[in-house]
A = this chain, B = another copy of it.
């Protein structure tokens, strides 16, 4: 498996044609998409291209947001955006809000990005409206140009309840598996594997995040080559553990 971050992706602005920018970066790098490649893009530049930028000055906090702002010490306008992007509050603590996002995952700050938006503290970035669909659109455009079948991954990074440090996660998947179910397969002694569901796209996202790093808009596109995966057109939403099967709330 090789991972290659594509240099020279320009700063993305609302309305930009991401597939075109990616194809141009590939051409400059002397690369050509091959069958089975996974093209990974950070949620940050997908959000920017989709115009998901919000000026905090234009956000009017609700009563509930003002209340939670007093509890957490967080900017009431940010709390308001957190609430709008979430379906359930999981935990609050000083300067922390952990929620179940409308997209189904549990994360801090509802995936709202305060860095690298336009160089001020007054503008933030929401996640794409439907990143699985964004991945499908990007995939369709890249496949039409390259005439090969590829996967597309949209990454974000999340903290974890029991472990320190953020890791890459998949928030958009198209053309490759989000989860791989190995149950029913056999191990090298012929013993049936009992519990072996892999968070496949999350592992690809973590691999990619080793190259993109945090908060860096410089290397938002990574080409992943050489993985063999089942022919499954997954969705990142499959990676969300349904609340009713979770032992933690």
Contact = CB atoms under 8 A, between A and B. Distances in A.
Given A96-B247, A213-B182, A200 B119 contact: no
B189 A116 contact: yes
Contacts of A240: 162-164
A207 interface: yes
Interface residues on A, range: 35 or more
A246 B215 CA distance: 24
Interface in A194-240: 194, 196-200, 202-204, 206-207, 209-211, 213-218, 227, 238-240
A246 B216 CA distance: 27
B248 A214 contact: no
A27 B190 CA distance: 30
Interface stretch (A29-37, A46-54, A55-63, A166-174): A166-174
- Per DSSP, chain A at the interface is loop
Q: Assembly of this chain: how many copies? A: 2
A203 B199 CA distance: 13
Nearest to A229: B210
B241 A216 contact: no
A93 B248 CA distance: 12
A215 B164 CA distance: 26
Interface string A71-107: 0000000000000000000110100101000000110
Given A182-B214, A217-B188, A167 B116 contact: no
Interface in A128-177: 157, 160-169
Contact of A247 (B93, B114, B180, B202): B93
A244 interface: no
A66 interface: no
What 9 pairs across the A-B complex have the smallest Cβ distances? A165-B199, A119-B189, A207-B207, A206-B206, A203-B206, A196-B214, A106-B162, A91-B247, A161-B248
23 contacts: A1-B3, A1-B210, A2-B2, A3-B207, A11-B188, A106-B162, A115-B187, A115-B194, A116-B187, A161-B161, A161-B241, A161-B248, A162-B240, A163-B199, A163-B202, A164-B199, A164-B241, A165-B180, A165-B202, A167-B198, A182-B215, A185-B215, A188-B217
Given A2-B3, A121-B191, 4 more contacts: A1-B2, A119-B191, A163-B199, A210-B227
